[in-house]
A and B are shown apart, each in its own frame.
Chain A
């Protein structure tokens, strides 16, 4: 295992963006065959450094050597030729292509002038079986879940026989079991001589899987440690620069009257005609956090779409504060329901609008923000944006006039959370609110959710992260294949038992 041969050497890498130094004079050696974790808060420069290695960005200063030779990685194609592969945080897939087509795209096997899809398929199927990355090669990307899309991304990299593998927060969307599997895959790959660079916020995972860990903070390299010689607490402190608490402090819930009631909700997938949500009933009361747990792709996303009005429902009823909202418009629902959406780029933000416009997305039509004659009150837009930026510590290059597109993922999410929580609606629907965020930001968002609960709001949390569900929720419903498997108290159920419900092995009597 002790291998001191350096496969990658970063020397004095500096990369600047308008208003921010993403990487500041970073020098780092990566050894051949190791799993090297990069740890840091949002905007610490991990993703940027990896993008530099993958040729997405050219650094202003510094050099990179691969296998002892200095290289200029000007674009991803060069990186691929050097045997570098990357699974990005935001997937780079063609939505209306199949999994197979996406995997082979750009390195197709040809038979004469024609595509030889059969041999491609064979290779893909072999890879997917070998690494346990189950995904239907003929499914269209737009029809599969985020988790399956990621598996496709990993296969894409393996298909290209990359030797240096970069994983940008690969576990953010996986279930505990899937994470275990991925860890095994990563270890297996390392054993075969692959070098793995692994970006993560999850200290436990880093401790479990990596050989060494490098901690970045605000663009600077803080320290490189042997994972075996460190503790999660120490890593957390180095990353944030202060002590952090991993546990969510909260009083026992005091549920009051019912806010949301979902009755016999059924939703049908347009294409497959399958019932993706099947006769689901539950309710959320003031002063409690109800979590929907389950493995990705078991109808949770569709349930949320139906509830928030993004997709029409097939059957059933949605009652909010006793009023029937089944047929109400999204605008009407927004007045009583805040919604932190699952996909922040697709639904949460208008990326080419400035931050201030995005923060006003749910308010711009209210009298404070628009005059009776229809003119926007830009003073109010600005002051409101300043208020939220200050209150929620949203960091960006140019403050409220920053285009949402140029903000880091974590700060984009903070902006959405700020906007939604500030709606002060009776019901807060938070879908994967901490996806891809760092410890500091997760802590902050969890605190906000609990605070909302303590302010007598009803909170519905949908998350694939079991730790989050167990820590934050007062009550948990587990979904499997569109149905509710159990209505559980996280204090009385172990993680393992929860896993059985999630896998559809265990089921208790349905309850509203």
Chain B
């Protein structure tokens, strides 16, 4: 026992973290091989750039860029964590995200730009949250009251959103010269506070701070509150939850609306950002929505771990963009990040293997020291 008492850090309590790290490492190795095979001479420097996140080239300014990329996928990632833990496979992230984005654009263009100071950006943000939730409402109702598969319900709504949004953009906020949505009025952009100083990036804003706060709040909600207890119970065993008197319909609605709202927030934060971004008229689902699933996978469904998952994926994106300097196509960059995400999905599998191996090892130790398990 004395050996155990001294050793405070027991690795078997951290298999979740460890398995994610191993998954990432495995992904990086394959990514490296892909790079070297594509272009043997430039593979090594390109890979170095990828894993240093381009910081050696772009300097600290990239921290701002990193935060910019992390913000939306953190929001959608947390959205997936909340839904998945409740047993709801919300695949409607792209739709809910884009609806949130459009809501923020329209609100700021037509309504909030003349409001008193903080309301200029607070109101569009709230509307984007609301819009994301509304977009999840119908798949939610279909699931809760008509038992329609939520994966199908939400995926269909992604496409409805994609086409319907073109109509809205075309009619209300289209900048025909640039072929994209009109720019957000300056007063409606997110405040910057100390962020530019911190990141040495002129266009850094508080988006990432809001996203991190929301992630922490969601973690508290899931782990510490009555509602979280109920949501997780429904996700783990719907029959036993019913038996315990938990209202499953209500909980399905809460989890999917919350998930939609978080995706909407992601859209709002990104489009109200100081760096600015636009929606173009093309038939494509927002990648931020799907990347949320990757973040969630990497984070093992924990909203808290999603913070690190989102920052990591954003880190790769920043580094990946610099790889173009070495003549790699954008698509190769996407392949590399995809490989790593793909590996991340194995983290659960790795976790189980790791636990098995550690158990075996422990037993060996016990045998040697003659210590018997109770």
Contacts and interface: CB of A to CB of B under 8 A. Distances in A.
Nearest to A329: B245
A330 B242 contact: yes
A331 B241 CA distance: 11
Contacts of A329: 245, 247
Nearest to B366: A16
Contacts of A346: 237, 239-240
Contacts of A349: 237, 240
B193 interface: no
Contacts of B247: 329, 331
B224 interface: yes
Interface in B324-374: 359, 363, 372-374
Interface in B135-178: none
A171 B240 CA distance: 26
Contact of B244 (A18, A21, A361, A374): A361
B243 A310 contact: yes
A334 B374 CA distance: 37
A350 B227 CA distance: 16
Contact of B229 (A16, A60, A310, A364): A364
Given A18-B359, A348-B243, A365 B226 contact: yes
B240 A350 contact: yes
A411 to B, nearest CB: 15
Contact of A353 (B225, B227, B233, B239): B233
Contact of A341 (B233, B243, B373): B243
Interface string A352-384: 110001000110110000100011100000000
Contacts of A334: 244-245
B250 to A, nearest CB: 11
Contact of B245 (A330, A350, A352): A330
A217 to B, nearest CB: 16
Contact of B363 (A16, A333, A348, A370): A16
Contacts of B202: none
Interface in B244-286: 244-247
A423 to B, nearest CB: 11
A225 interface: no
A370 B374 contact: no
Contact of A20 (B239, B246, B374): B374
A362 B244 contact: yes
B245 A331 contact: yes
B258 to A, nearest CB: 14
Contacts of A509: none
Interface in A1-50: 16, 18-21
A304 B227 CA distance: 28
A350 B225 contact: no
A332 to B, nearest CB: 8
A351 B237 contact: yes
B243 A374 contact: no
Contacts of B245: 329-334, 362
B236 interface: yes
Interface centre among A332, A350, A361 (most CB of B within 10 A): A350
A339 interface: yes
Nearest to B221: A374
Contacts of A18: 359, 373
Contacts of A332: 245
A370 B226 CA distance: 7
Contacts of B372: 21
**Interface SS of chain B: helix, strand, loop or mixed?**
helix
A353 B233 CA distance: 8
A12 B374 CA distance: 19
A351 B237 CA distance: 8
A91 interface: no
Contacts of A353: 232-233, 236
A81 B359 CA distance: 30
B226 A60 contact: no
Contacts of B239: 346-347
B243 A351 contact: no
B103 to A, nearest CB: 28
A42 B229 CA distance: 30
Contact of A375 (B225, B236, B237): B225
A347 B243 contact: yes
Contacts of A357: 229
Contacts of A361: 233, 240, 244
B229 A376 contact: yes
B12 to A, nearest CB: 9
A353 B240 CA distance: 11
Contacts of B244: 330, 334, 361-362
A339 B359 contact: no
Interface string A371-409: 000111000000000000000000000000000000000
Contacts of B241: 350
Contact of A350 (B224, B226, B237, B363): B237
Contacts of B233: 350, 353, 361
A332 B373 CA distance: 44
Contact of A352 (B236, B243, B246): B236
B243 to A, nearest CB: 4
Contacts of A362: 244-245
B236 A351 contact: yes
Contact of B243 (A20, A21, A330): A330
A214 to B, nearest CB: 23
A18 B356 CA distance: 11
Interface in A180-194: none
A350 B239 CA distance: 9
B224 A376 contact: yes
B158 to A, nearest CB: 29
Given A16-B373, A364-B226, A376-B226, A310 B242 contact: yes
Given A21-B372, A330-B245, A331-B245, A348 B229 contact: no
Given A365-B226, A376-B225, A19 B374 contact: yes
Contacts of A19: 373-374
A374 B236 contact: no
Contacts of B246: 331
Given A364-B229, A375-B225, A350 B373 contact: no
A310 B244 CA distance: 10
Contacts of A375: 224-226
Interface centre among B226, B229, B241 (most CB of A within 10 A): B229
A375 B359 CA distance: 35
A30 to B, nearest CB: 27
B225 A374 contact: yes
Nearest to B241: A350
Interface string B49-89: 00000000000000000000000000000000000000000
Nearest to A398: B374
Contacts of B225: 370, 374-376
A334 B244 CA distance: 8
Contacts of A352: 236-237
A15 to B, nearest CB: 11
Nearest to B355: A18
B240 A347 contact: yes
Contacts of A308: 243
Nearest to A347: B243
B227 A374 contact: yes
A18 to B, nearest CB: 7
A281 to B, nearest CB: 25
B77 to A, nearest CB: 22
Interface centre among B240, B242, B359, B372 (most CB of A within 10 A): B240
9 cross-chain pairs, A with B, having the tightest CB-CB distances, nearest first: A331-B245, A347-B243, A330-B245, A350-B237, A370-B226, A361-B244, A374-B225, A352-B236, A334-B245
16 contacts: A16-B363, A330-B242, A330-B244, A331-B247, A334-B245, A341-B243, A347-B239, A349-B240, A350-B236, A350-B237, A350-B240, A350-B241, A353-B236, A375-B225, A376-B225, A376-B229
Given A350-B237, A361-B233, A375-B225, 5 more contacts: A331-B246, A334-B244, A334-B245, A364-B229, A370-B225
